[in-house]
């Protein structure tokens, strides 16, 4: 069986005490719950949607059963957990301060000290079949060292959280080589200082690009990506209990990296998960599930946006609209006056979106492809294309989408393009940014001309004389001077190809509001400029590649 995340570490029972107004703590714990750094990280990864397996040892008693049942509840694979007769389980007393909700932990170790190197050998197939390996320094050092060397030898990604940082201190020369073999180290400021024997965190992270990630509490986190120092601000939220916040970040980070997400996006999303945990009591129960995390990120990001209510509504209903038709296999197909195709699904989605918007904003105007195509843009106008490129929807080839934009005070304020079959949701909002599946779309460097891909979007026959001349500009001595030319008659695909760096330039001649407003606003927010290629301003070039711009704007 293959896994996304494999966690090797310990489990324990956490006894939580909350400080009273008089500064004292109760004699008996306020909450008793399963915990432990290894178990916490495994639960966090599983709740984030990763297929997670735990490698650990627990004692065969009531505490061990509670730990095991809890991991099973959170769908962590416990098949390979060793249950040992007579082994004492770990437990901890966690004291939560009243003022800042920070914690002080007393740990009592048992089972975690019984780990030996043969746990790596015994379960090496599990480790090799996992995308990301997560470990800590709480088990005996020789076990962690053996695991690090095994993962390094087999090119496995290993994330280490050094909760016993003195074990990794560079004052011991052999640790320098060990650090080089670890894929990612996540630590707090104090742990970093202990390991690297310095208070200069920024210089420290520059020595370990994309490896050393240091959390700075209320200041966020810092790491170096090989080109520049990345400082990510913390997500401001109410703090109830800090227990497990770091484990939440690491569990989520491992889950998102296992999906192929880049480090910067994975870290930012993991920080949101950690912020959600801070608002809840106890470690594991307070960790978010992936769907709740997505909603939290969306609401947090948009809450300062002037049109946040409109945007959040649109993001919800555009998904709901597809959910209501996705299992429909039979639908009526008709031909409109302009010879384009329409199905009853186009009509159904458009009616649904209009109704949901009118329920909240009854005075708003609509400019839509099927029912309101003659309407003029006015303040508070919703522009809707229920199915962009119906012919592809009929073919069920994934090259279609649902588009929406909101216009007010003579400007587009936000837009959404949803590609259901690709499981991609793009949205852009004024002064907030552009996002793909809640991950910010980051700028990329332009490629040389011979590596560039140019797409001709929209109907190829419209403005064909102009387009033919433009195409000729890409041909020299009977060969292309660019890498390739694409054409997909689907505006939603063309615009999203460009902003997601699948193409380097878009040449398009569509003029209908529902075809172009969502995509062109998305490009604008992504910082991709628009140029006109003909005197009538019908054919547009959208690119940030200066070589393509110079080639086509020479006329």
pLDDT tens, residue by residue, 190-216: 999 999 999 999 999 999 999 999 999
Has residue 241 got a pLDDT over 70? yes
Structure token digits, residue 252 = 């989520």
Has residue 465 got a pLDDT over 80? no
pLDDT tens, residue by residue, 97-118: 888 778 878 888 889 999 999 9
* Range from 102-106, 395-399, 458-462 that averages highest in pLDDT: 395-399
The answer to whether 247 is a known catalytic residue is: yes
- C-alpha–C-alpha distance, residues 119 and 358, integer Å: 61
**Per-residue pLDDT, 64:** 92
Within 13 Å, how many C-alpha atoms sit on residue 181's CB side?
18
Least Cα distance to 7 among 37, 49, 30 occurs for: 37
**Per-residue pLDDT, 121:** 96
* Range from 341-350, 368-377, 407-416 that averages highest in pLDDT: 407-416
* Region of residue 340 (phi > 0: left; psi between -120 and 50: alpha; otherwise: beta): beta
Owner of token pair 């989408």? 401
**526 confidence band (pLDDT: 50, 70, 90):** very high
Has residue 460 got a pLDDT over 80? no
Has residue 87 got a pLDDT over 80? yes
Q: How far is CA 335 from CA 122, 341, 352, in A?
A: 65, 5, 22
pLDDT tens, residue by residue, 126-148: 999 999 999 999 999 999 999 99
Residue ranges and CATH numbers for the domains of the chain are 3-302 (3.40.1190.20), 308-438 (3.30.540.10), 449-552 (3.40.190.80)
Average pLDDT of the residues of the chain:
92
Least Cα distance to 433 among 508, 357, 499, 516 occurs for: 499
Has residue 555 got a pLDDT over 60? no
**Per-residue pLDDT, 535:** 79
**Per-residue pLDDT, 242:** 85
Average of per-residue pLDDT across 435-442: 90
Has residue 356 got a pLDDT over 90? yes
**Per-residue pLDDT, 413:** 97
Q: What is the DSSP string of 406-426?
A: EEETTEEEEEEEEEGGGTEEE
389, 365 contact by CB (below 8 A)? no
**Per-residue pLDDT, 459:** 79
55, 7 contact by CB (below 8 A)? yes
Task: Give me the percent of the chain exceeding a pLDDT of 90.
Answer: 70
Average of per-residue pLDDT across 413-442: 94
Rounded to two decimals, the pTM is 0.80
The residues, any chain, with a CB within 8 Å of residue 196's CB and separated by 6 or more, are: 170, 204
- C-alpha–C-alpha distance, residues 9 and 15, integer Å: 19
- C-alpha–C-alpha distance, residues 170 and 116, integer Å: 24
**554 confidence band (pLDDT: 50, 70, 90):** low
**Per-residue pLDDT, 226:** 92
Has residue 48 got a pLDDT over 90? yes
- The catalytic residue among 247, 346, 385, 388 is 247
**Per-residue pLDDT, 126:** 97
Residues facing 402 on adjacent strands: 418
**421 confidence band (pLDDT: 50, 70, 90):** very high
> Which segment of 52-56, 92-96, 363-367, 498-502 scores lowest on mean pLDDT?
92-96
SS3 content of the chain, % helix, strand, coil (to 5): 35, 25, 35
Owner of token pair 């999303």? 269
The H-or-E segment that residue 3 falls in is strand 3-8
């Amino acid at each position: 069986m293959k896994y996304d995340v494999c966690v090797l570490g310990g489990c324990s029972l956490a006894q939580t005490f909350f400080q009273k107004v008089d500064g004292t703590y109760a004699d008996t714990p306020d909450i008793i719950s399963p915990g432990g750094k290894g178990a916490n990280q495994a639960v966090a990864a599983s709740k984030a949607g990763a297929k997670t397996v735990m490698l650990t040892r627990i004692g065969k008693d009531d505490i061990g059963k509670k730990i095991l049942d809890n991991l099973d509840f959170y769908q962590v694979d416990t098949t390979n957990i060793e249950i040992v007769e007579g082994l004492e389980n770990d437990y901890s007393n966690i004291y939560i301060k009243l003022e800042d909700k920070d914690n002080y932990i007393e740990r009592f170790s048992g089972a975690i000290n019984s780990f030996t190197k043969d746990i790596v050998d015994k379960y090496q197939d599990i480790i090799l079949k996992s995308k990301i390996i997560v470990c800590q320094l709480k088990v005996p050092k020789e076990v962690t060292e053996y695991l690090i060397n095994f993962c390094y030898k087999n090119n496995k990604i290993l994330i280490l959280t050094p909760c016993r940082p003195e074990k990794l201190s560079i004052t011991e020369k052999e640790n320098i080589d060990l650090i080089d073999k670890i894929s990612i180290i996540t630590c707090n400021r104090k742990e970093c200082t202990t390991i690297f024997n310095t208070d200069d965190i920024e210089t420290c992270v520059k020595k370990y690009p994309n490896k050393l990630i240091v959390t700075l509490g209320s200041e966020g986190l810092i790491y170096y990506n090989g080109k520049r120092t990345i400082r990510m601000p913390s997500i401001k939220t109410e703090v109830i209990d800090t227990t497990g916040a770091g484990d939440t970040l690491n569990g989520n980070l491992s889950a998102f990296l296992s999906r192929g997400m880049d480090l910067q996006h994975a870290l930012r999303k993991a920080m949101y998960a950690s912020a959600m945990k801070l608002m809840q009591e106890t470690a594991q129960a307070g960790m978010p599930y992936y769907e709740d995390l997505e909603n939290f990120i969306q609401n947090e990001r948009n809450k300062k946006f002037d049109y946040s209510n409109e945007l959040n509504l649109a993001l919800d209903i555009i998904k709901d609209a597809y959910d209501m038709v996705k299992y429909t296999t039979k639908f009526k197909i008709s031909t409109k006056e302009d010879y384009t195709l329409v199905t009853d699904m186009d009509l159904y989605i458009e009616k649904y979106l209009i109704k949901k918007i009118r329920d909240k904003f009854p005075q708003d105007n609509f400019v839509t492809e099927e029912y309101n195509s003659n309407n003029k843009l006015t303040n508070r106008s919703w522009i809707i294309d229920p199915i962009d490129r119906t012919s592809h929807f009929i073919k069920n080839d994934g090259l279609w989408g649902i588009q929406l934009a909101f216009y007010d005070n003579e400007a587009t304020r936000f837009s959404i393009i949803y590609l259901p079959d690709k499981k991609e949701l793009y949205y852009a909002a004024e002064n907030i940014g552009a996002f793909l599946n809640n991950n910010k779309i980051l700028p990329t460097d332009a490629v040389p001309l011979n590596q560039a891909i140019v797409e001709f979007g929209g109907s190829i026959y419209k403005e064909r004389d102009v387009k033919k001349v433009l195409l000729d500009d890409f041909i020299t001595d009977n060969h292309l001077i660019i890498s390739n030319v694409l054409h997909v008659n689907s505006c939603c695909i063309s615009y999203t190809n460009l902003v997601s760096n699948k193409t380097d330039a878009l040449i398009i001649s569509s003029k209908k509001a529902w075809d172009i407003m969502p995509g062109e606003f998305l490009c604008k927010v992504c910082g991709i400029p628009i140029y006109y290629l003909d005197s009538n301003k019908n054919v547009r070039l959208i690119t940030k590649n200066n070589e393509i711009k110079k080639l086509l704007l020479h006329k």
